[in-house]
Structure 1
Amino acid sequence: MPNGPLVMPANVDARSSHRPIFAVGAVLFGAFLANFDSRLFSVGLPDLRGAYSLSFDEGAWLSTAATASQIFIAPAVAWMCTVFGLRKILAIPSVVYAAISIVMPLTDTYGVLIALSILHGLLLGTFVPATLLIVVRNLPRKWWIVAMAIYSARVGLSLNAGISIVGFYVSDVGWHWLFWQDVIIAPLMGICVLLGTPHEAINRRLVAEADWGGMLLLGSGMAMIYAGLDQGNRLDWLQSGAVVALLSGGAALSLGFLLNEALIRKPWARIDVILTRNICLALIVILLYTLTALSNASLVPNFLISIGRLRPEQTGGLFLTFGVLPMLILLPSTIYLVQRHDPRLVLIVGLAAFGFAGILGTGITHQWSVDDFIPILLLQALGHSFSLLPLMMIALASSDPTRSTEFAAYVQVMRLGGAEIGMSVMATWLRVREQFHSNLLGQYIDGGKSDVMHFIARLTEHFAFAPANLAPALSIRSLVSIVQQEANTLAYIDGFWLTALFAGLGLGFVTLMTRSPPGPFSSDR
């Protein structure tokens, strides 16, 4: 999922690392952990349900608990790093994270699994914003653009490579490695943090002045709203008391946060920090980027699973070859373009690529196979490569360095909350459109009874091998399956239209942005 920029936190004497390669390593490992773990859990959830013997509902709540805890902690991470230092926030927690990752596949009690997932998510929620701080606080400026480019590329890479990795783990080495990979990666991140960042003393003055109420209100409110959105499609939204309670409770806590920030003497994250023109527009475009990127994150792989009846290990090669590899090839050109040209122009190309990918997707049929999606994946790879990095450059150049921890709180809300809004919107859209098309197709079938009876007769002949009393039932079941397949295909077409619309809206908001002032990533610095 996308993440926004942070700038130099106030009240901290940042020092460039004398081992910048380790600082870059910490960023790389941290970004990998955050995005790949979330992606692997999402793609591998059906296999995890089977491995843990969970019902569909239990699996859904497990997923909600793992991500809601990330949202709870993420807005406060920049402040925590400013106060306690990067080492304390990343080094020791990385070891704890690895220990939890060892235990989770061995757990056979659902309550313990939920508790471990919450702890797992709390620690994971610190890694993305904390590792990004390493870039702007501990790396020489000549390293910034490379580290930021790697950091921004993690979103598209995890979306594409995650499918192949899940397939490899589940079919070849065991589902346990969905967790056990972190036993290797998390400690490596901790070691890189220790070697690549300086020791920082606790800022006791900021601790004494902390707006604990504001942090708790925002984190709790966003986590409850997320849980309501995540469960809404499964529990039929406002028909469920749990969803209503989560959404209304989260909204009340979020309103309490805004009142708290307006009334207390030293607020933690005043809303006016994001009300400048380019910052506000950049956050909106980040949300729209998240929504249009769903054409890659959910539509293509889910179509291949639900319509094509393929497993992740059967489609992973497609996403590696035409999703991951093009992004790696385009990475140097992305760095060059955002340094030498207006980032808005690069961003326009990226969003336009997503728009064209969505339009191509509207031509799908139930007969589409893996190879038919190659042009779409190539356009999406271009979109990922040319969208997030320039967005980060624009927001970074337009932000106020003295209020970076305030700005970071809202960026984290947009990063995680925007992704969940996108997933909820798309899941609900597909469900509603499938019902709509099923109804329409059903009306056509009712209106053409002679043709339908003729088709059923042909199907009955096809099932001539079955007992005479079963052949008609099998024929009708086949007809229902065909109608459902076509309704699902039409729903996916509508989903691609929706992603193209989001890309178009993103382009419209980009045109409203003003040129950013020269910044640390510009070629003239």
Structure 2
Amino acid sequence: MSAPSPDRPADNPVTRGARSHHPGFAVAAVMVGTFLAAFDSRLFTVGLADLRGGFALGYDEGGWLSTAALAPQILIAPAVAWLATTFGVRRLLGVPSLVYAAISLLIPFVRHYELLVALHVARGLLLGVFVPATLLIILRNLSLQWWLPAIALYAFRSAFTLNSGAALGGYYVQTLGWQWMYWQDALVAPVMAVLVYVGVPRERVDRGLLVHADWGGMLLFGAGLTLIYVGLDQGNRLDWLESGTVVATLAGGAALIVAFWINELLHPEPWASAKVLMSRNILLMLGVTVLFTLTSVSNGLLVPNFLDVIGALRPEQTGDLLFGSVALPLVGFTVLAVFLLRRIDARIVLTLGLGAFALASLLATRLTGVWRLDDFVPLTLLQSAGHGLTFVAIIVIALSNANPKRATAFSAYIQVLRLGGAQIGLALMMTWLRIREQVHSHQLGQHVSDGEASVEQTVTALANRFAPFDAGSAHQRALGTLASLVKQQANVLAYIDGFQLCYWLALAALLLVAFMKAPPPGPLVPRRSLA
């Protein structure tokens, strides 16, 4: 094994870059790149049913297509910071964004399934570069005065696209055609390429990093996380441990992660040394990030799924609620976050954001089967405040407690939380809802047994309503209606349990915040917060 180069510490590569002479264009590139990636992922999730129809795919084929589109992001994202440090952000985003645009233009015309999957894999690999690379623009190429506004824009796009993607996807499907879920990227990606070439300075290739590259660590980490992602993504569809595919991917991914840790201990110049995580505040911050990701599922999954399953609303109808009461207010809450973070301790801002999520989840435990769009407005406004205050504060705390020159290694773990945490949250919540619905169905079913007077009266009343239309099947239709009412109520109770779980997760995150110490002095830390 080669020895570390004398001008570089052995724990991980140093992150540094030339300052941009056109920071406005660099910030615009940050916005375009992150919004493009976030919108694409959200549109694919929301519009999957329409995409299956457009490509004439079955349910299983659609499920694997979704995994093929999203899993490659996990494979490449942790290594993006190292690639940017080695090759420079311009090389990493310029030509790849044009290739991405070409693939997005081509996909709607493809009908061969294997080719369709291959193009989505390639597209996912390119998409996985955009978000972490644009974050690196902030850390490596912008002066310190631009950091907080640019970080706020970076954080803003996540919740904004999550809550406006349904409305945009509905507009494409209903008005322009499902193809525009891809073609929008063919228009936007070249714009990002232009902004990158104008706003990001040209940098030399770091040949020293190439010579001593920890290729094995990057491959083991990315491949291990990808296999775990595939297992989680397919878990609910294939019934978890009952599926050999799920067991194999989860076990194989775990084995590769263990091999990665061993590699990092033995390699003379590890790519993502765990030393960057060895501080109290960083470990607590990572725990808070995971809990925040799980808590925010109350907005990204529970609200739209309830309105879909119980309210029988299409995504574009739900999108009107999420856009009006989460996405738009998020603009003001993000500005408020920047204002507060320049003046008070980020831990206070983080507490306010998590408290908003906890209160929203607590309000949602009063859920009933008749709740529709307007009933969700108070809690979605609180969720908007939670998104706007929490995510920006988490990033500021992370950067305030980490050495920005070591952002290459630190970013690898942040990308794991950004992508992997969201998938873990979705998988766990979907499993929780399924189990709780089964439990409540069993418990309610015990009170709806044949022969009870109240049940007979309900069945008779329902049969009398159906009799004028079809007397012969009126009794069977009455029984079917009663069964559907029981199932609906079981689903409502399951969603209440889901919101209760999010409430306790938010309280757990607040407990971790209470143990955080004041950050060391730095450009993102107000002086008054150091006391």
TM-score interval (norm. to shorter): over 0.9
Change (3 A) 1:229 1:479: same
Cα deviation per residue 1:392-425 (whole Å; 9 max; x = unaligned)? 1111011123432111111111111111110000
Identify the match of residue 154 of structure 2 among 151, 155, 158.
151
Identify the match of residue 469 of structure 1 among 472, 489, 492.
472
Identify the match of residue 249 of structure 1 among 240, 244, 252.
252
Which range is displaced more, 299-308 or 512-521? Answer: 512-521
Secondary structure of 1:469's partner?
helix
Cα deviation per residue 1:435-473 (whole Å; 9 max; x = unaligned)? 111111111101772211111111110101333321111
Q: Distance in 1 between matches of 2:384 and 2:417?
A: 22
> What amino acid is the match of 1:129?
P
Q: Distance in 2 between matches of 1:416 and 1:182?
A: 20
Q: Distance in 2 between matches of 1:423 and 1:234?
A: 13
State the shift of 1:501 in Å.
1.1
Q: Are 1:492 and 2:495 an aligned pair? A: yes
Aligned to 1:273: 276
Q: Distance in 2 between matches of 1:12 and 1:453?
A: 73
Q: Distance in 2 between matches of 1:109 and 1:483?
A: 43
Aligned to 2:48: 45
Aligned to 1:374: 377
Q: Distance in 2 between matches of 1:311 and 1:25?
A: 33
Change (3 A) 1:518 1:50: same
Q: Are 1:337 and 2:340 an aligned pair? A: yes
Secondary structure of 1:363's partner?
coil
Q: Does structure 2 retain, via aligned residues, the 8 Å contact 1:456–1:475?
A: yes
Give the alignment's TM-score, normalised by structure 1.
0.96
Change (3 A) 1:292 1:11: closer
Q: Distance in 2 between matches of 1:524 and 1:187?
A: 42
Q: Distance in 1 between matches of 2:496 and 2:328?
A: 26
Q: Does structure 1 retain, via aligned residues, the 8 Å contact 2:13–2:271?
A: no
Change (3 A) 1:448 1:89: farther
Q: Are 1:163 and 2:166 an aligned pair? A: yes
Identify the match of residue 391 of structure 1 among 387, 391, 394.
394
Cα deviation per residue 1:25-44 (whole Å; 9 max; x = unaligned)? 10000110121111111111
Aligned to 2:181: 178
Change (3 A) 1:323 1:25: same
Secondary structure of 1:101's partner?
helix
Cα deviation per residue 1:43-66 (whole Å; 9 max; x = unaligned)? 111111111111111111111111
Q: Distance in 2 between matches of 1:36 and 1:128?
A: 11
State the shift of 1:12 in Å.
5.8
Q: Does structure 2 retain, via aligned residues, the 8 Å contact 1:85–1:202?
A: yes
Q: Does structure 2 retain, via aligned residues, the 8 Å contact 1:433–1:494?
A: yes
Q: Does structure 2 retain, via aligned residues, the 8 Å contact 1:69–1:121?
A: yes
Aligned to 1:113: 116
Give the alignment's TM-score, normalised by structure 2.
0.95
> What amino acid is the match of 2:501?
L
State the shift of 1:521 in Å.
2.1
Secondary structure of 1:95's partner?
helix
Query: 5+ residue gaps in structure 2?
Result: 1-11
Q: Does structure 1 retain, via aligned residues, the 8 Å contact 2:365–2:500?
A: yes
Identify the match of residue 223 of structure 1 among 222, 226, 231.
226
Q: Distance in 1 between matches of 2:142 and 2:80?
A: 19
Q: Does structure 1 retain, via aligned residues, the 8 Å contact 2:345–2:525?
A: no
> What amino acid is the match of 1:136?
L
State the shift of 1:309 in Å.
0.5
Aligned to 2:69: 66
Q: Distance in 2 between matches of 1:387 and 1:13?
A: 27
State the shift of 1:380 in Å.
0.2
Equivalent residue runs for 1:225-374 within 5 Å: 225-374=228-377
Q: How many residues align?
A: 517
Q: Distance in 2 between matches of 1:451 and 1:105?
A: 55
Secondary structure of 1:445's partner?
coil
Q: Does structure 1 retain, via aligned residues, the 8 Å contact 2:17–2:203?
A: no
State the shift of 1:330 in Å.
2.0
State the shift of 1:331 in Å.
2.2
Cα deviation per residue 1:110-156 (whole Å; 9 max; x = unaligned)? 11111111111100101111001111222222111111111111111
Cα deviation per residue 1:191-249 (whole Å; 9 max; x = unaligned)? 10000011112111110100100000000000000100111111111110000000000
Query: 5+ residue gaps in structure 1?
Result: 1-8
Over the aligned positions, Cα root-mean-square deviation in angstroms equals 1.4
Secondary structure of 2:449's partner?
helix
Q: Does structure 1 retain, via aligned residues, the 8 Å contact 2:29–2:196?
A: yes
Q: Does structure 2 retain, via aligned residues, the 8 Å contact 1:101–1:180?
A: yes
Identify the match of residue 39 of structure 2 among 36, 39, 50.
36
Q: Does structure 1 retain, via aligned residues, the 8 Å contact 2:89–2:133?
A: yes
Aligned to 1:206: 209
| 4+ residue segments displaced more than 6 Å | none
Q: Does structure 2 retain, via aligned residues, the 8 Å contact 1:229–1:243?
A: yes
> What amino acid is the match of 2:284?
L
State the shift of 1:274 in Å.
1.0
Aligned to 2:4: none
Which range is displaced more, 293-302 or 457-466? Answer: 457-466
Identify the match of residue 482 of structure 2 among 472, 479, 484.
479
Q: Percent identity?
A: 51
Secondary structure of 1:470's partner?
helix
Q: Does structure 2 retain, via aligned residues, the 8 Å contact 1:34–1:124?
A: yes
Secondary structure of 1:414's partner?
helix
Q: Does structure 2 retain, via aligned residues, the 8 Å contact 1:10–1:401?
A: no
